[in-house]
């Protein structure tokens, strides 16, 4: 399958502007600005059925159409804060296929009637941003950014805003707070960014990978885009594969491809040919999904995964083999969420702290079975009570791991049932009695 997103794997020098241009680069942006109205661009993206690739899977064209009419200026903010453990797709896209990403952001801006794009990039991607700044400078030199683009009245600027090590800034409203120079703490919604976003103005916030799909849709049309993927989950997705596999990495596949293909064909299977105990499909924010043959044949699209009571999310697939202990796994994920909790709302701030406290004691062998029950209780007090998804997702791996692999937790406790005593050796059979002589023999 020719790559649509990771095009550098087919065309190695596509990070160079002239190579990108030679392969149809910026024809879509030119077509949009010169031949289409913003509303027509929105309709095409709606028809293509593109869904957000940052994890929520919300229909992109629909999100754009929510921008409050007659309210200006508009802003487009690209969420390049990629911080979910197990996710590294946007890093590769921005490093190796930067102009397609930028073109996608630019078409998004045109459709949104925005003249300014802010690309919010996590601070750890410092050198990626240095590279993108050079790309943006080249676009200004070639009159693809700036004023009077293609001789029209449309003007567009792109700026980069570096994050500084806060996962919560991947939540769109916290991200906007961060650009505004404040703590990255989520806002109460409504109002939503499409109504009151950056600086209180209508704002579209989209993930890096999402916008990287847009040039293809505008250049080739919605119908062509829909040739990949499923009816409800069209297109291709960059799947991030990590953990216990031989070849971790990014792999672009149509949505609906099977988990088996990702892990065994692309990922080269599990080191030592060990069995897979479970997978986490959405990074640390995942349901821990026990794996059997039917799960390996599960289609990786938003609906099929939801049918298994899990979420595809950002498709950050972490593979746990049979030697992995789920009490340890949830210690790792909970430590992450506790560290990253912004502190604004009590259930998350206090709850992640206490879940971590209990899990640390469990893993050190200092807990009782009642503490494992308490962990369940604390998770229940966080559930459905948090201001933003961070708190909600912090309990997802804990509750699902306890449901599917309770023994992993109980096995660490001081009062776990003692291991079954080995069966006592059977008493020696008494020697068969010689038959008593019967009178008459």
Residues that bind other proteins (CB under 8 A): 82-88, 90-91, 122-127, 130, 159, 161-167, 178-184, 199, 240-244, 247-250, 280, 284, 318-320, 324, 329, 332-333, 335-336, 339-340, 342
The per-type count for the chain, helices as H runs and strands as E runs, is 19, 9
Choice between 59 and 249, CB closer to other proteins: 249
Tell me how far the alpha carbon of residue 118 is from its chain's centroid: 21
Residues 6+ apart with CB under 8 A from 215: 25, 28, 29, 100, 103, 104, 107
Choice between 338 and 412, CB closer to other proteins: 338
Residues 6+ apart with CB under 8 A from 65: 42, 46
Residues 6+ apart with CB under 8 A from 20: 14, 26, 99, 100
> Taking the complex as a whole, how short is the minimal distance between the CB of residue 317 and other proteins, in angstroms?
10
Choice between 22 and 126, CB closer to other proteins: 126
**Cα separation, 306 vs 172, whole angstroms:** 23
**Cα separation, 145 vs 110, whole angstroms:** 12
> Taking the complex as a whole, how short is the minimal distance between the CB of residue 413 and other proteins, in angstroms?
22
Please, are residues 22 and 16 in contact by the beta-carbon 8 Å criterion? no
Choice between 124 and 138, CB closer to other proteins: 124
Q: Please, what is the angle between helix 98-111 and helix 126-141, to 10°?
A: 70
70: left (phi over 0), alpha (psi -120 to 50) or beta: left
Nearest by Cα to 321 from 284, 274, 283: 274
> Taking the complex as a whole, how short is the minimal distance between the CB of residue 157 and other proteins, in angstroms?
9
Rounded CA Rg of the chain = 27
> Taking the complex as a whole, how short is the minimal distance between the CB of residue 335 and other proteins, in angstroms?
8
> Taking the complex as a whole, how short is the minimal distance between the CB of residue 377 and other proteins, in angstroms?
24
Tell me if residue 279 falls in helix, strand or coil: strand
> Taking the complex as a whole, how short is the minimal distance between the CB of residue 328 and other proteins, in angstroms?
8
> Taking the complex as a whole, how short is the minimal distance between the CB of residue 397 and other proteins, in angstroms?
9
> Taking the complex as a whole, how short is the minimal distance between the CB of residue 24 and other proteins, in angstroms?
29
Q: Please, what is the angle between helix 326-340 and helix 389-404, to 10°?
A: 170
**Cα separation, 28 vs 33, whole angstroms:** 9
Choice between 256 and 283, CB closer to other proteins: 283
> Taking the complex as a whole, how short is the minimal distance between the CB of residue 239 and other proteins, in angstroms?
11
Residues 6+ apart with CB under 8 A from 19: 11, 13
Residue 432 buriedness (CB in 10 A; 0-12 / 13-18 / 19+): exposed
> Taking the complex as a whole, how short is the minimal distance between the CB of residue 349 and other proteins, in angstroms?
13
Is beta strand 157-162 parallel, antiparallel or unpaired with respect to 74-80? unpaired
Tell me how far the alpha carbon of residue 112 is from its chain's centroid: 25
């Amino acid at each position: 399958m020719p790559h649509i997103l990771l095009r550098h794997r087919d065309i190695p020098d596509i990070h160079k502007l002239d190579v990108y241009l030679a392969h149809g680069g910026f024809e879509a942006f030119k077509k949009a600005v010169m031949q289409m109205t913003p509303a027509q661009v929105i309709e095409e993206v709606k028809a293509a059925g593109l869904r957000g690739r940052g994890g929520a899977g919300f229909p992109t064209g629909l999100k754009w159409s929510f921008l409050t009419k007659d309210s200006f200026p508009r802003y487009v903010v690209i969420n390049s804060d990629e911080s979910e453990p197990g996710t590294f797709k946007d890093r590769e896209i921005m490093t190796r296929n930067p102009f397609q990403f930028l073109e996608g952001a630019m078409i998004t801006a045109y459709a949104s009637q925005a003249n300014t794009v802010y690309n919010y990039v996590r601070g750890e991607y410092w050198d990626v941003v240095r590279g993108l700044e050079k790309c943006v400078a080249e676009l200004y030199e070639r009159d693809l950014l700036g004023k009077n683009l293609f001789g029209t009245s449309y003007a567009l600027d792109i700026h980069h805003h570096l994050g500084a090590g806060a996962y919560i800034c991947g939540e769109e409203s916290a991200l906007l707070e961060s650009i505004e120079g404040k703590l990255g703490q989520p806002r109460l919604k409504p109002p939503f960014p499409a109504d009151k976003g950056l600086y209180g103005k209508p704002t579209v916030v989209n993930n890096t990978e999402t916008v990287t799909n847009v040039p293809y849709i505008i250049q080739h049309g919605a119908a062509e885009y829909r040739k990949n993927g499923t009816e409800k989950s069209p297109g291709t997705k960059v799947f991030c594969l990590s953990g216990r596999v031989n070849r971790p990495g990014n792999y672009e596949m149509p949505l609906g491809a099977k988990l088996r293909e990702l892990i065994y064909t692309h990922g080269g299977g599990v080191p030592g040919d060990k069995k897979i105990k479970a997978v986490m499909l959405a990074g640390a924010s995942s349901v821990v999904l026990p794996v059997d043959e039917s799960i390996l044949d599960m289609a990786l699209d938003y609906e099929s995964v939801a049918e298994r009571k899990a979420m595809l999310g950002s498709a950050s697939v972490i593979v746990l083999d049979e030697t992995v202990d789920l009490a340890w796994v949830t210690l790792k994920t909970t430590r992450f969420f506790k560290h990253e909790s912004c502190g604004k709302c009590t259930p998350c701030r206090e709850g992640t702290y206490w879940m971590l406290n209990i899990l640390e004691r469990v893993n050190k062998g200092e807990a009782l079975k009642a503490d494992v029950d308490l962990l369940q209780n604390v998770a229940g007090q966080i559930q459905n009570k948090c201001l933003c998804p961070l708190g909600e997702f912090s309990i997802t791996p804990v509750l699902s791991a306890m449901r599917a692999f309770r023994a992993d937790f109980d096995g660490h406790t001081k009062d776990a049932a003692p291991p079954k005593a080995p069966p006592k050796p059977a008493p020696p059979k008494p020697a068969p009695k010689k038959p008593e002589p019967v009178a008459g023999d």
